[in-house]
Structure 1
């Protein structure tokens, strides 16, 4: 077979996949240039709060430099550089001598910092995997994507603040070969007013009482406008999410909980903390709680569930690993938020989380999400609980779709019954949809049921964009599962985002835009996916 035949064969396979996923057709090599990537602004770190605790300094080198970490040293693989890349570097007035000088400065600057650890790759995935992901995304999307291998990190000692790193970050960010450098704040679960933890002896023998049936308390399963109408979705073949993979990105989970299925993927290192563990357990219960006649029933209880923990890796790395685990047609949920820059939006409630915002504000997370989205993975992201207007000028337009769009579904939070934005939810034009941000019944915590064993903890007060985002994630899995069961291709991330918005139940009239609440009956109907089963009631669904 000729080289041209091989090339055209690859293009046609890419075209078939693009059509299946509803993404842009790939560009034939040489036919047109890729749409340029939007570069982050220099000096963004200057707007960061000085007292915020930071866990690492992130460094991203310019595309085309081919900077790589070999052992403990940064080096450049010149042989990998294309003519287009050489041209771009020339436009930036970057030659190999300048690049070599910059790398030496990076090493010296980091070595002078007493709070800094050794340079490391920010993303833990294999270099070849990241390179392949980039190539596939550019073929599908027709636009330049970030080379995640160009991201490095400098781990920092516990208790380090942005002020401590200001000089180092400024020095690194000023280097011509560095695209961006910033100190990364600690990530936290996007939950509000967590229930008081109940003391228990972990690892104790199960007391084996009969667990009550809580499905009747899961109002978010009900028909619109109260819920997303999961009960209807279950009457459609595949509407329980069967055949779809979901991976949750956060800190910890009780994977042995009686009402959770076996996890197909268990990536990363978990935090040994019951607060993180209860949070992850509650999130997963909303999505895949087993339909077994007791406890709760997840919206997408037929889906496969996995986790990617952030205990020993960056959030951006965890997102990429999660996306690789679910593959095209799968769903990644980001259950985290961080303290962002000060802004002009008043914060009158949930004050401990004022100004916490969505993860894609930070460039590494944005690039990881963008790559996953273009490659057919739907990313659902908590908007955060910071009472902030994401259209505020403080964010430099990064939440403006006309400036950049990661492709993720950003989720706000509303009151359970009224669809009124919660006083603490983030909002704005970038927030796509909303779901219950209060009184969510799920697994974990033990405030609703606690016989003394963490494997039987249940809650009825889970809240935050953390409780809203799993509802949306499971709704995505429900739709993709129904498509798959009916012999159809999954929707692209942008297509399913548009579907949820166009078929959802409008939020209550309010100046805070949080988008509609998903309505699975209308969404499935728009796709001409009809019931294959008799309708079920809220009380009887668990017995079917």
Structure 2
């Protein structure tokens, strides 16, 4: 009965997905009324604990206001406002006079911020590119997308804490023309573990036999089965990893097809990004490791020097329809738990989409047909907690991303520190992942470092990305074209290996042997 239910569920979802894939070309010109964008719920009290380090203050004005950077400052450009935007302003009861008053009030507040410079655009792409991406996403999805040019950032001085800006953020949120204002906490890799150093070796042995996550279910995702199918190594799929740094000269990595943004000059960040790339794309060359989707093209977008939201939009543009963007970062959100005994250093760290700019960037990417996979984070929190004000309630808002938690390698039980909840879609190995970097397996120079201890939702998320890329590669090879992100997400959820019975929901683990026949049957 369970198998029949799952099959019917997948069938219904895939019929909807295939219709969505075909619809834009035929119906784009007939879309006259868009499904409205979900409203933002402003906080009624400061969200971040006073001692939380913060790196920027983000302000978004309401849709239709046409606040822009002009002449070195923020201005209302009413002459560029179209009829739809005028209608959005009217629905909010915002007059031109009120908007201009609120903008001046916001600038006065921002003058008091401990900042590094004046307010600027949060997203780095030019206005025409952002406008065109918005139009295409709306055409394809029939859903209203955010005007990303209404987001602005104020970089904060190093050492700024939430206590320094919490009151200023609340003053901004009190303005009717401001949709949301918040302080963005500093990000870090969603990796849990200790730096280790191993013994140098003179050769690079083969470690593929230790990569149990490649094996058949229930132990692994059965990547080896996918490799036997045309396109099943991720052929023709572009994957862009968004995080801090990578070692592009590692002996077991292919040449990156894209290197965007700026990297941190930091060994810890570099080890992390290199380990992620090894899980994805370690070359099938007889030594080192073999990536889940070793036939895919891989690239990266560095976050040093730009906002996470900006990095997401840049990565999505490069990945393209049917491509995959991987978000490997987490940041401290509101206090959602008092029990972080097994990972105190990352307590209350949450997925990136908690912050509205990141959510809007992800939603626009998935609406444009880009698959987004996001680490759920290692903050030990229940994402269904009311402290998050519905940010992770799928009935309230859904970015379309796949949220990935961490499970044990052997039993599929939640790792004690993994974030969990109804918004989490899938899990994968959160421990004992064999890949590149760190050097505890082989440390004969950084270009030949390998590890057997990569962990966290940072190890789980790229395993899921590999499953997504392999299915998308098979779809390309069999003429199905780009898959609809939500439909592929549901396919993986419905056909995966169930998690161990536990009150913490982390979802199933991908099982490619079960998912592929469902894909091919449609």
SS at match of 1:74: strand
Could you report, residue by residue, the CA deviation over 1:32-54 in whole angstroms, capped at 9, with x for unpaired residues?
42111112112266222111000
Q: Tell me if the contact between 2:201 and 2:443 (Cα under 8 Å) persists in the aligned partners.
A: no
Task: Name 2:371's counterpart in structure 1.
Answer: 378
Which residue in 2 is equivalent to 1:110?
110
CA deviations 1:169-224 (Å, max 9, x no partner) are 1222222211100000001100001333579xxxxxxx993211000010000000
Q: Cα–Cα, structure 1 residues 195 and 483, in superposed 2: closer, same or farther, change >3 Å? A: same
Deviations 1:359-387 (A, max 9, x none): 11110110000000000000000000011
Pairing 1:520–2:512 present: yes
- CA distance in 2 between partners of 1:505 and 1:226 (Å): 9
Residue in structure 2 matching 1:440, options 433, 444, 465: 433
Q: Distance in 2 between matches of 1:116 and 1:44?
A: 27
Residue deviations 1:388-420 (CA, integer Å, cap 9, x gap): 111111111111111000000000111101111
**1:281-430 pair list within 5 angstroms:** 281-344=274-337, 346-430=339-423
Q: Which residue of 2 aligns with 1:179?
A: 179
How far off is 1:358 after superposition? 0.8
Contact 1:194 1:463 in 2 (8 A): no
Moved more, 288-297 or 134-143: 134-143
Residue equivalent to 1:248 = 241
Q: Distance in 1 between matches of 2:187 and 2:27?
A: 37
**Equivalent residue runs for 1:110-259 within 5 Å:** 110-196=110-196, 209-259=202-252
> 1:148 Cα shift?
0.5
Aligned pair in 2 of structure 1 residues 427, 113: CA closer, same or farther (>3 Å)?
A: closer
SS in 1 for 2:169: helix
For 2:374, what is the secondary structure of its paired residue? strand
- Consecutive unaligned residues in structure 2, runs of 5 or more: 1-16
Q: Is the 8 A contact 1:412 1:427 kept in 2?
A: yes
Q: Do 2:242 and 2:302's aligned partners in 1 also have CA atoms closer than 8 Å?
A: yes
- Residues 414-472 of structure 1: CA distance to partner in whole angstroms, max 9, x if unpaired? 11011111001111110000000000000011111001x11111000000000000000
Aligned residue pairs, count: 506
Q: Give the Å deviation of 1:23.
A: 7.0
Return the offset for 1:75: 1.6
Name the CA distance, whole Å, in 1 between partners of 2:492 and 2:24.
20
**CA distance change for structure 1 residues 114 and 525 in 2, over 3 Å: closer, same or farther?**
closer
Distance 1:170 1:307, change over 3 A: same
CA distance in 2, matches of 1:350, 1:422: 11
- Relative to structure 1, is the Cα distance of residues 494 and 30 closer, same or farther in structure 2, using a 3 angstrom cutoff? closer
> Could you tell me the TM-score, scaled by structure 2's length?
0.93
Q: 1:173 to 1:485 in 2, by over 3 A?
A: same
Partner Cα distance (1:518, 1:128) in 2 = 39
Verify the 8 A CA contact 1:195 1:461 in the aligned structure 2.
no
| TM-score after normalising by structure 1 | 0.89
* Mapped partners of 1:27, 1:105: distance in 2: 43
